[in-house]
Amino acid sequence: MLQRSSAFAIVFLMTGLPARAVDWPVFGFDPARSSFNSSERALTVGNVHRLRERWQIAFGAGLVADSTPIFLNRVRIGRSHRPMLYQTTTSGVTFGIEALSGRIVWKFATHGPKYTRSTPAADPSGAAIYAPGVDGKVHKLDAATGREVRSAGFPARVSHMPNTEADDAPLNVANGYVYATTSAYNDDDALPYLGHVVGVSLTSGEERVFNSLCSKVHKLPEPHFCRQQRSGIWSRGSAVVDPDSSMNGRIYVSTGNGDFNANTGGHNYGDSVLALAPDLSDLYGSYTPTDYQQLQERDLDIGSTSPTLLPRQPSSTTPLMLAQGGKDGVLRLVDRASLPGVGGELQMLNLPSALFSTPAVWTDASNNAWIFMGFPSVVQAYRLETSASGVSQLVGIWQNAAGSTVLGTSPVVANGIVFVAFNGQIVALNARTGSELWSSATSSSGKTIGSVHWESPIVVNGWVYCSDHNGSLTAYALP
């Protein structure tokens, strides 16, 4: 009989993954969209420079995944378990891919009039994934085979207007629901569309809806059912789930340009942050900048990025906070335990440009909370600091002009390393100092990535995966 340590060594050699491997089941690693893989140990500040390309695949002629893959470590295929990646292309084709080899195991296609840049989400069982379609539906697929599961309400409709209303932001799974949000297609912003959140029960398929306009009506909007339009929920983070146990799984979304009249007794929440019940039955609170009318008129909505949820700060008078950026280039720190309505920010900071990416949130070994943000030509790091009197503020620590993109992509952080995709390269930065540790563009790293838009890397079990606008998916790992 093999000794336990020998058995673990054999498992490691057979799979190429550490024995304590983890999943990356949703965009941003967890339902809070922290983009912080707290379990990563294989890659370190000292060895990340040794990353090498392991494989690069193409999805096929005309197929581009303008999104992020998810990862499941143990998917039962036949008599064995394999690590698998899942990614959806803009044309609504979802791929199941062997994570160690890049071999495409299966693909599932949907058909519709437009595109999606959404990301799949894994069922908590690990046996299924939820895939966005271009047909206004979320599909449940067998993780091993890609076969559609047509039961318990799936496929579930999330839009009655797929010609003008996009399921374009990443899916999320929490509280027994898969969450989807809707917006316009940004190539034409054509009406009708109405930003809303849909929660589909994982067990029954029952749908719950919260509309950001005409919010008293809890049903999927039909064309022109509300006199107001727009207010899309389109950020990369989409619906964000509060990780603090005291908040009982509440949902946060940020909305785009649309009518706002909640401060005068109305039910429209354009250009706002909303806190919702897990089943979307109730609005717990909201935050709207005082210049909301100007934001709407100048197309500077805060809906370009999702609420960033900061870890609890026990010594602060506002222990639970969120940070909200926007197209106006302002970062706002807000008390999320008691959203202040109109105005009432704890802090406002000027950013180098509009924020389109989803920030990453890291807690270091000294229990300090950090935010990392990706912009078109720079990455910035802020640390949350609390004074002796309990006042919390974000303080700029470093910035690095490591590359360039059109809008800026979403950083991820693992074991003290920040990974960010730019056109032609993924870079690894020291999370404390911002110094560059590695770039995929160096000749010794092998093949690098192409240009990027909403694509961003994931870092899991010593591997780095990232798709690009050339229609490729590339994997890196230590030699």
Percent of all residues in the chain with a pLDDT value above 70, rounded to a whole number = 96
Q: Is the pLDDT of residue 438 over 50?
A: yes
Compute the residue count for the chain: 479
Q: Mean per-residue pLDDT for 306-329?
A: 98
Q: 389-421 burial, b for 16+ CB within 10 Å, e for fewer?
A: eeebebeebbebebbebebbbbbbbbbbbbbbb
The pLDDT tens digits of the residues spanning 68-90 come to 999 999 999 988 999 999 999 99
Q: Mean per-residue pLDDT for 104-112?
A: 98
> In whole angstroms, what is the distance from residue 346 CA to residue 108 CA?
46
Q: 99-110 burial, b for 16+ CB within 10 Å, e for fewer?
A: bbebebbbebeb
> In whole angstroms, what is the distance from residue 146 CA to residue 439 CA?
34
Would you say the C-alpha torsion 341, 343, 349, 355 has a positive or negative sign?
positive
Q: Mean per-residue pLDDT for 30-48?
A: 98
- What pLDDT was estimated at residue 286? 98
The pLDDT tens digits of the residues spanning 136-182 come to 999 999 999 999 999 999 999 999 999 999 999 999 999 999 999 99
- What pLDDT was estimated at residue 11? 40
- What pLDDT was estimated at residue 4? 38
The pLDDT tens digits of the residues spanning 127-149 come to 999 999 999 999 999 999 999 99
Q: Is the pLDDT of residue 352 over 70?
A: yes
Q: Is the pLDDT of residue 102 over 50?
A: yes
Q: Is the pLDDT of residue 245 over 80?
A: yes
Q: Tell me: cis bond preceding 83? Omega within 30 of 0 counts.
A: no
Question: Quick one: which H or E segment has residue 135?
Answer: none
- What pLDDT was estimated at residue 224? 85
Are the C-beta atoms of 464 and 426 separated by less than 8 Å? yes
pLDDT band for position 10 (cuts 50, 70, 90): very low
Amino acid at 85: L
Average pLDDT score over the chain = 95
- What pLDDT was estimated at residue 2? 37
The pLDDT tens digits of the residues spanning 355-409 come to 999 999 999 999 999 999 999 999 999 999 999 999 999 999 999 999 999 999 9
- What pLDDT was estimated at residue 188? 82
Percent of all residues in the chain with a pLDDT value above 90, rounded to a whole number = 93
> In whole angstroms, what is the distance from residue 430 CA to residue 453 CA?
23
> In whole angstroms, what is the distance from residue 370 CA to residue 133 CA?
35
- What pLDDT was estimated at residue 323? 98
- What pLDDT was estimated at residue 228? 95
Q: Mean per-residue pLDDT for 454-469?
A: 98
Cite the DSSP H helix spans in 238-320: 292-297
pLDDT band for position 3 (cuts 50, 70, 90): very low
Q: Is the pLDDT of residue 297 over 50?
A: yes
> Which residues are within 8 A (CB) of 29 and not within 5 positions of it... i.e. 6 or more apart?
35, 36, 37, 412, 458
The beta strands (E) that lie in 242-282 are given as 251-254, 273-276
- 203 exposure class (CB count in 10 Å sphere: 0-12, 13-18, 19+): exposed
pLDDT band for position 18 (cuts 50, 70, 90): low
How are strands ordered across the β-sheet holding 156-157?
121-122, 128-132, 137-142, 156-157
Token pair in block for residue 411: 């950083």
